[in-house]
């Protein structure tokens, strides 16, 4: 009787575990119902302690030929690739062939001398202040995916920049230029390309047989998915036609990414020393620790440690995460530019890890008199970067770029985990869970002819290797770059304008009020100088 009872108990436990497993798989399936046999899609893998518990593919790899994605389909990993470049540098460091505190100019002497040296560690952590070569290149009319960028061309653009976004080590700002320089350092230290180094030191030892770098975009890669971007009529191809890699450009499968993530558990290459260096979060000069480590973001999700990185190149999207407390890997690779793989990955993690038991309550809203509301109003520009926002009052409520702000103190506003703190007249401090930014009030727009007519003229930049022509039509300011760029600038504040690509133009005047130059700031590249070379009255 006792044996019969144990038999039924065992059957019950098996059925319960099977039902739970089936339910988990079904819930993961539901996350990807937007991908079908008429759309691009991707491959999704989940493993626990090295064993695959979920591995499925969705959508099409080739819309023209109706070829489906499979679990063996090769995708491009975007910036997920950065951890491979970082690991290469750190492996060389463990072998004593370089030191992370070395001045980068030791290996790349053609880099300009800046106010403070840039170290390899700064490159690894995105704290160098280097302007992103792709952002600078876009000013010439050739944004990424529109021309064949190479390692040599990117290095040339980087070395043309006579200034940085900030002093090295004082801030964190993501820039592909950091990892472009790391690729050059690998090659100059070990005498072989990054592709050759990673193949012999990582890919082959780990059995990553489907992984290589896209160092020749024309090469035929069997079983590679074509990348797509949604348009009004459906989809169009959006492929990375460039040869530069290391910041991105890794061609791989979800199965190979699982093998790679196993290093975070086994430390089988580079040992404990390299592992510690890979996950060591960067630290700024003021002592503040940042989330970025060696090509990896170190954070928490639902109270569990999360080691992760996302990726996006052309129409490819990627997400790779590891949760060491549960030894869980989640890998998603996609050829759908509209596929939010990060959000999908977080949903999978929540299914496996559960939701946190408590949530931080939102601050209580209070009512403020009109005098306290008005002290916040105005247009503000970030002192640290080029962000601009306007706070206005309407119907006794404050709005930030048309979003309602809730007063929680006479000197503090709140919206969606952001806080606006009134510091003093003309100064507002914006806080989130990770950072603070100080903003200063700027002078209001002046669109009278007296002030905007002097803006007209042709401006050239040696750093961007291009020129723009500014013209004034009535009370409007227009910008032109041959052969086909021509659009109206949106006034934000006195001598400050926003362009079509959300870039910020700030005109500079001499003491007599004559306009002499302007600076363009855009994502990942700030204050690129343009000098007026001709008047255009």
Domain containing 470: what range?
Answer: 449-535
529 and 404, same domain (yes or no): no
For residues 218 and 90, membership in a common domain is answered with yes
Q: What is the pLDDT at residue 536?
A: 66
Judge whether 30 and 46 are in contact, CB under 8 Å: no
CB within 8 Å of 4: residues ≥ 6 apart: none
What is the predicted pLDDT for the residue at 537?
58
181 assigned to some structural domain = yes
Rounded Cα distance, 158 and 147, in Å? 17
The pLDDT assigned to 359 comes to 67
- Supply the CATH number for residue 79's domain: 3.40.710.10
Residue 60 lies in a domain: no
Q: What ranges in 368-421 are assigned the alpha helix state H?
A: 370-374
Using the 8-state DSSP alphabet, how is residue 262 labeled? Answer: T
Statement to judge: residues 240 and 299 lie in one domain: yes
Assess if residue 459 is contained within a domain: yes
pLDDT at site 14? 35
Residue 435's pLDDT is 78
138-162 residues labelled b (16+ CB within 10 A) or e (exposed) = bbeeeebbeeebebebbbebbebbe
Find all residues with CB under 8 Å of 17, minimum gap 6, and list them.
none
Asked whether residue 374 is assigned to any structural domain, the reply reads yes
Together in a domain, 314 and 462 = no
Where in 148-286 does DSSP place strands (E)?
212-213, 228-231, 234-237, 250-252
Residues 173 and 284 placed together within one structural domain of the fold:
yes
Using DSSP, state whether 85 is helix, strand or coil: helix
Q: Residue 155: inside a domain, yes or no? A: no
Side-chain-facing half-sphere of 488: CA atoms under 13 Å: 7
Please indicate, yes or no, whether residues 429 and 511 belong to a single structural domain of this protein. no
Domain boundary (421, 441, 461) is at 441
| 239 and 300 fall within a common domain | yes
Asked if 115 and 243 sit in the same domain, the reply is yes
376 and 475 fall within a common domain: no
**CA–CA separation, 283 and 414 (whole Å):** 28
For the chain (length 537 residues), average pLDDT per consecutive 10? 41 40 90 96 97 97 98 98 98 98 98 97 98 93 80 95 96 96 98 97 98 95 97 94 94 98 97 98 95 97 96 97 97 96 97 82 88 92 90 92 90 91 92 84 91 95 95 94 89 94 93 94 94 82
Indicate whether 293 belongs to any domain: yes
User: Is the domain of 304 the same as that of 436?
Assistant: no
Report the CATH number that the domain containing residue 482 is assigned in CATH: 2.40.128.50
Rounded Cα distance between 56 and 54, Å, is 7
In a domain, 499, yes or no: yes
Number of structural domains the chain divides into: 3
Q: Report pLDDT for 303.
A: 93
Q: Does any domain span residue 64?
A: no
Neighbours of 201 (CB within 10 A): 18
């Amino acid at each position: 009787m006792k044996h019969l009872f144990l038999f039924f108990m065992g059957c019950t436990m098996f059925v319960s575990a099977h039902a739970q497993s089936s339910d988990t798989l079904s819930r993961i399936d539901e996350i990807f119902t937007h991908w079908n046999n008429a759309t691009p899609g991707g491959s999704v893998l989940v493993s626990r302690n090295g064993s695959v518990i979920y591995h499925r593919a969705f959508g099409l790899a080739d819309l023209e030929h109706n070829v489906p994605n499979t679990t063996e389909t090769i995708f491009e990993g975007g910036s997920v690739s950065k951890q491979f470049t970082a690991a290469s540098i750190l492996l060389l460091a463990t072998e004593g062939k370089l030191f992370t505190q070395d001045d980068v100019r030791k290996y790349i002497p053609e880099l300009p001398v800046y106010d403070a040296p840039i170290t390899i560690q700064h490159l690894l952590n995105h704290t160098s202040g280097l302007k992103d070569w792709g952002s600078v290149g876009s000013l010439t009319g050739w944004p990424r995916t529109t021309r064949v960028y190479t390692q040599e061309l990117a290095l040339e653009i980087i070395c043309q920049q006579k200034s940085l976004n900030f002093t090295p080590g004082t801030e964190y700002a993501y820039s592909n230029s950091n990892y472009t320089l790391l690729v050059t350092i690998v090659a100059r230290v070990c005498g072989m390309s990054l592709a050759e180094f990673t193949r012999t030191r990582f890919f082959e030892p780990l059995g990553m047989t489907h992984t290589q770098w896209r160092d020749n975009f024309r090469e035929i890669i069997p079983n590679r998915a074509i990348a797509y971007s949604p348009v009004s009529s459906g989809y169009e191809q959006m492929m990375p036609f460039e040869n530069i890699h290391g910041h991105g450009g890794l061609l791989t499968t979800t199965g190979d990414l699982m093998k790679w993530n196993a290093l975070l558990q086994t430390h089988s290459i580079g040992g404990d020393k390299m592992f510690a260096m890979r996950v060591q979060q960067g630290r700024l000069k003021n002592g503040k620790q940042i989330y970025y480590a060696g090509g990896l973001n170190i954070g928490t999700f639902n109270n569990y440690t999360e080691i992760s990185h996302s990726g996006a190149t052309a129409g490819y999207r990627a997400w790779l995460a590891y949760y060491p407390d549960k030894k869980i890997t989640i890998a998603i690779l996609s050829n759908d530019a509209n596929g939010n793989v990060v959000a999908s990955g977080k949903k999978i993690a929540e299914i496996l890890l559960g939701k946190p038991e408590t949530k931080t309550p939102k601050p209580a809203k209070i009512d403020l008199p009109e005098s306290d509301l008005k002290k916040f109003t105005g247009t503000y520009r970030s002192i640290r970067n080029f962000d601009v926002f306007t706070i206005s009052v309407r119907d006794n409520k404050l709005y930030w770029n048309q979003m309602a702000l809730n007063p929680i103190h006479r000197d503090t506003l709140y919206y969606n985990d952001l806080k606006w703190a009134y510091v003093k007249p003309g100064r507002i401090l914006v806080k989130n869970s990770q950072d603070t930014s100080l903003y200063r009030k700027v002078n209001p727009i002046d669109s009278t002819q007296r002030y905007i007519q002097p803006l007209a003229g042709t401006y050239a930049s040696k750093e961007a290797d291009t020129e723009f022509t500014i013209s004034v039509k009535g009370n409007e300011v227009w910008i032109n770059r041959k052969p086909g760029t021509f659009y109206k600038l949106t006034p934000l504040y006195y001598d400050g304008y926003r362009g079509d690509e959300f870039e910020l133009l700030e005109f500079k005047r001499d003491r007599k009020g004559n306009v002499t130059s302007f600076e363009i700031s855009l994502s990942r590249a700030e204050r690129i100088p343009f000098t007026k070379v001709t008047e255009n009255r």
